[in-house]
């Protein structure tokens, strides 16, 4: 029997996105996955519904082959996939001669369907569609860069630091989002952005298509580009399914020019560039530059619970990204203590002044002024680590091959903690010093505002402080609310053109639909999307996009009263677009709340420092 099977089986290969078979096709046999990922799906109301994901060792298509019935669902290769096909006639002949084989096949199929239904159903209950929009990406990624949108303040320091180090940013903050738990012990769902950044695939296709061997991979799995060998052909950029490799102008000087590049590099003015985890430095620059610690790298097959449930764990178990991620509680404690201390000292100074025991500008009041001046100058230090990357980006020390091997072996036993942000402690220090400086100003001048330059100085200082407090509140509150109304990651400048794009999608989706759907779009969805106070209501209710879609569907169902049930094809997508249109002004407003206060904070700070210099000069000059 085994020889008969081996003679009949055929080896097949499918590229990413190609159909293995479609619903309604005649059964061609039993398929076995040798390597890759296959998605079983059905289509209803022009939307794809995932039924199962199949990986190495899984079989499918046997039920229709044995029953000689048309395919009930479609099978699509999610990536480069190798398969084996046992023809239907051979399968039926094999079952006829081995009656007990059919029962075993059915038990295996039933177990597989039950486990897949549980895994896919549980994942769908806790995640957006984008978790499984490209599961192949999750399967291939070894080191996937994610940005926690619940804490990211959209400052752009990650991309700015990358550009400062390499001349062009290797990180683009656009991409899909997933809603998931990071690690098995994480009790909270995180809204994670998957930006365009190399994910160091387990089977990198970019290496295969490179004609000069410019792309390499080290023993730890990190994929990198050897600039001297890159001819700028662009094959790797075309091969990457996720556009994580970009072509950039070839540097004319600096370290790359001193490496003795091969003359073939002169054939192209461009060079392939991608994230290499800052392999020349101790830690990635984007991670170290993030002021809120929102950037981390993870292995989806281990750290994303839904992916691990569907694909199964790969490789030895280890600490999850959540366990290795530096905690933020210490910064919250330090900032809380700083706020409490600043408020306590300020209230104490005001009470002593009201009791006549403390005179502003004399004795302790004078020294409070000196402390306030020092604090204002010290607050400027926060700009240094944000703008001078060389202060904290340290190059790796060269190690011998024996030490690298020993470190690799040791690293397999005890995985080091994730890289920490070097800017975040400065932000905590900035907050604490700001509160103490406010207390010192109260001790020096109280609450009076004299009609002279010193009064202008106090007014400017308190305006700076107010802007800082508002900014701190915005940084704490706005990101999480903004993440709940974003479908995809986008830069603030992208929002200007998004309304027109959404309106175009709305009218394109409505064209050619049933008259009932067109009527609903014209009378319900368009007025809903254009309601002047719609975004304000969305902000007050705190609903996310999914909850708002459910509410809008309920409103439409109440109007229909059960009529036209079979004429609603395309309505789901129209509702999604309408909800995004209503949320768009709120996204703009919240993005502005995160960004608009900072320029004012900087400008007024400069004015306050100029007035401080004038005030000191007047005081030292005497009457």
Angle between helices 545-560 and 571-595 (to 10 degrees): 140
Mutual orientation of helices 88-97 and 99-125 as an angle, nearest 10°? 120
**pTM for the model:** 0.83
pLDDT attached to residue 254: 45
- Going by C-alpha positions, the residue among 155, 481, 490, 478 that lies closest to residue 295 is 155
pLDDT at 410: 53
SS (H, E, C) 343-396: HHHHHHHHHHHHCCCCCCCCCHHHHHHHHHHHHHHHHHHHHHHHHCHHHCCCEC
Position 362 scores a pLDDT of 76
pLDDT at 354: 80
Give 10-residue mean pLDDT values along the chain (623 residues). 80 91 93 90 79 84 89 91 91 81 69 64 51 75 91 92 91 86 73 91 89 89 90 92 90 53 62 91 91 89 78 57 62 90 90 78 83 92 80 74 56 59 91 94 86 89 95 94 88 85 91 91 93 91 92 92 85 93 94 93 94 88 64
CATH 2.60.120.10 segments of the chain? 2-125
How far apart (Å, rounded) are the C-alpha atoms in residues 262 and 252? 14
In 3D space, the residue among 47, 45, 44, 108 whose CA is nearest the CA of residue 72 turns out to be 44
Tokens (6 digits) for 59: 């079989």
Report how far apart, in Å, the C-alpha atoms of 255 and of each of 290, 417, 490 are. Answer: 26, 30, 33
How many helices and strands in the chain, by DSSP H and E? Answer: 25, 16
Count of positions (residues) in the chain: 623
Backbone angles phi, psi at 190, to 5 degrees: -115, 140
What residues pair up with 191 in beta bridges, in sequence order? Answer: 179
Q: Considering just the CA atoms, what is the radius of gyration of the chain in Å?
A: 30
Both ends of the chain: CA-CA distance in Å?
110
Cα separation, 268 vs 295, whole angstroms: 34
- The structure tokens listed for 268 are 């192209």
Among residues 274, 300, 273, 278, the alpha carbon closest in space to that of 289 is found at 278
- Give me the architecture of the 135-324 domain, per CATH: 2-Layer Sandwich (3.30)
3-state SS class at 225: strand
Inter-residue contact 438 to 342 (CB < 8 Å): yes
Question: Alpha-carbon distance 242 to 248, whole Å?
Answer: 17
Q: How far apart are CA 410 and CA 506, in angstroms?
A: 56
Tokens 């404690």 found at: 333
CATH fold of 2-125 reads Jelly Rolls (2.60.120)
Tell me the Ramachandran region of residue 542: left when phi exceeds 0, alpha when psi lies from -120 to 50, beta otherwise.
left
Nearest residue to 502 (alpha-carbon basis) of 615, 406, 602, 579? 579
Nearest Cα residue to 70 out of 23, 19, 109: 23
In eight-state DSSP terms, residue 258 is G
- Of 278, 311, 16, 322, which Cα lies nearest the Cα of 146? 322
């Amino acid at each position: 029997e085994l020889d008969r099977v081996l003679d009949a089986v055929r080896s097949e290969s499918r590229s990413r996105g190609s159909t293995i078979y479609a619903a309604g096709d005649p059964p061609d046999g039993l398929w076995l996955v040798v390597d890759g990922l296959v998605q079983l799906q059905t289509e209803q109301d022009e939307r794809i519904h995932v039924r199962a994901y199949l990986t190495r060792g899984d079989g499918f298509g046997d039920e229709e082959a044995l029953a000689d019935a048309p395919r009930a669902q479609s099978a699509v290769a999610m990536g480069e996939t190798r398969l084996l096909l046992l023809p239907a006639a051979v399968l039926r002949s094999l079952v006829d001669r081995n009656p007990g084989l059919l029962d075993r096949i059915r038990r295996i199929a039933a177990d597989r369907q039950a486990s897949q239904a549980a895994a896919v159903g549980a994942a769908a209950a806790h995640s957006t569609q984008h978790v499984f929009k490209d599961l192949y990406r999750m399967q291939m990624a070894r080191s996937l860069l994610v940005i926690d949108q619940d804490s990211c303040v959209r400052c752009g320091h990650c991309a700015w630091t990358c550009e400062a180090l390499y001349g062009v940013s290797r990180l683009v903050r656009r991409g899909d989002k997933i809603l998931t738990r990071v690690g098995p012990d994480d009790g909270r769902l995180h809204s994670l952005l998957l930006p365009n950044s190399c994910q160091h695939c387990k089977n990198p296709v970019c290496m295969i298509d490179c004609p000069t061997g410019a792309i390499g991979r080290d023993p730890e799995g990190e994929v990198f580009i050897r600039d001297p060998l890159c001819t700028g052909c662009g094959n790797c950029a075309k091969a990457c399914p996720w556009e994580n490799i970009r072509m950039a102008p070839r540097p004319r000087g600096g370290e790359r020019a001193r490496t003795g590049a091969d003359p073939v590099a002169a054939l192209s003015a461009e060079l392939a560039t991608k994230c290499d985890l800052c392999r020349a430095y101790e830690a990635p620059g984007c991670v170290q530059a993030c002021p809120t610690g929102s950037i981390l790298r993870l292995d989806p097959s281990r750290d994303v619970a839904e992916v691990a449930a569907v694909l199964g764990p790969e490789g030895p178990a280890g600490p999850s990204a959540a366990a290795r991620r530096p905690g933020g509680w210490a910064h919250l404690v330090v900032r809380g203590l700083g706020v409490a201390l600043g408020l306590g000292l300020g209230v104490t100074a005001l009470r002593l002044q009201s009791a006549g025991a403390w005179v502003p500008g004399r004795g302790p009041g004078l020294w409070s002024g000196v402390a306030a001046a020092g604090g204002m100058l010290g607050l400027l230090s926060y700009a240094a680590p944000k703008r001078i990357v060389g202060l904290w980006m340290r190059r790796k020390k060269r190690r011998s091959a024996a030490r690298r091997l020993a470190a690799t072996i040791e690293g397999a036993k005890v995985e080091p903690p994730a890289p920490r942000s070097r800017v975040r402690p400065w932000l905590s220090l900035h907050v604490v010093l700001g509160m103490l400086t406010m207390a010192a100003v109260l001790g020096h001048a109280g609450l009076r505002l004299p009609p002279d330059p010193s009064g202008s100085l106090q007014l400017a200082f308190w305006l700076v402080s107010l802007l800082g407090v508002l900014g701190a509140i915005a940084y704490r509150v706005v990101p999480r609310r903004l993440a709940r109304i974003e479908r995809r990651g986008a830069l603030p400048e992208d929002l200007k053109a998004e309304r027109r794009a959404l309106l175009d999608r709305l009218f394109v989706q409505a064209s050619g639909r049933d008259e009932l759907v067109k009527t609903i779009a014209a009378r319900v969805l368009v007025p809903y999307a254009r309601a002047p106070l719609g975004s304000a209501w969305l902000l007050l209710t705190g609903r996310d996009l999914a909850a708002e879609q459910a509410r809008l569907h309920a409103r439409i169902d109440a109007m229909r009263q059960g009529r036209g049930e079979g004429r609603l094809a395309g309505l789901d997508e129209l509702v999604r677009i309408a909800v995004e249109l209503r949320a768009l002004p709120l996204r703009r407003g919240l993005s502005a709340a995160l960004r608009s206060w900072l320029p004012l904070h900087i400008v007024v700070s400069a004015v306050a420092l100029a007035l401080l210099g004038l005030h000191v000069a007047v005081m030292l000059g005497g009457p």
